[in-house]
Amino acid sequence: MRVVLAEDLFLLRDGLVRLLEAHGFEIAAAVASGPELTRALAEEKPDVAVVDVRLPPTQTDEGLQCALEARRRRPGLPVLVLSQHVEQLYARELLAGDGGTSRSGGAGSGGGGVGYLLKDRVFDAEQFVDAVRRVAAGGTVMDPQVIRQLLARRSVEDRPLERLTPRELEVLELVAQGRTNAAVAARLVVTERAIAKHTANIFAKLGLEVSDDDNRRVLAVLAYLDHGR
């Protein structure tokens, strides 16, 4: 099984190469930067890519973006991403299914094996090697900490009103009663300008963008009623 490995820290990269070779993998390329990774994935056409999220030259999400681009060019390319910390946005981007969009504006990563592990997991040789094999076989491997944080985030997304502060909920409740901003301000003994700010925050947190077709106050009230407030 041929592997392209991308890790900018020499000692870790060398250790991973030795570990994977000891378990029967063929290292097609071991690189240290985003441009090198892009070339290696295009030229070597590996069975699986093991990629650090942060690579030179940007040291941001260079590795992930290179892997996503490679999956756009070669749908289904198995990718196992390694990260020092849980990066929810990166995990979501990697997991984006067919037809999804990445933060960089391109197509989703599509099908094929994907994995997201914290770097601490590589010190458990059997666990790490098993993850590489499972991803290469088309499976999905997610670090337990990543799953916990994604589920926590999802629980908030599924209940959008939980994004609101107590004061914003109070304002929305009064809006749901049909009160104008002026009436809400009088009821809460604050300025109308303060209520306008609260309602703007409510619209933003509920994802209600400005539209010629929809009344955001109505949509906010519907969200309020849908959640049994």
Q: 70-83, pLDDT tens digit by residue?
A: 988 998 899 999 99
Enumerate the β-bridge partners of residue 30: 5
Give the pLDDT band (50/70/90) at residue 177.
low
What phi and psi, each to the nearest 5 degrees, are found at residue 147? Answer: -60, -45
Query: What residues form DSSP beta bridges with 114?
Result: 79, 140
- H helices of the chain, in order, are 10-22, 34-44, 62-73, 88-95, 125-136, 144-158, 166-176, 181-188, 192-205, 216-226
Choice between 149 and 111, residue whose per-residue pLDDT is larger: 149
Percent above pLDDT 90 for the chain? 45
Mean pLDDT value across the chain: 81
Residue 214 scores a pLDDT above 50: no
The answer to whether residue 227 scores a pLDDT higher than 80 is no
User: Tokens 């301000």 correspond to what residue?
Assistant: 185
Whole-prediction pTM: 0.62
**Per-residue pLDDT tens digits for 178-208:** 578 898 999 999 999 999 999 889 888 877 7
Report the pLDDT averaged over residues 140-168: 69
Interval 37-58 mean pLDDT: 95
Strand 140-142 to 48-52 pairing: unpaired
Select the more confidently predicted residue: 37 or 164. Answer: 37
> Which pLDDT does position 16 carry in this prediction?
96
146 vs 11 pLDDT, higher one: 11
16: Cβ–Cβ under 8 A, 6 or more apart, which residues? 5, 7, 30, 50, 122
In one-letter notation, the amino acid at residue 78 is P
pLDDT at 178: 58
Q: How confident is the model at residue 229 (pLDDT cuts 50, 70, 90)?
A: very low
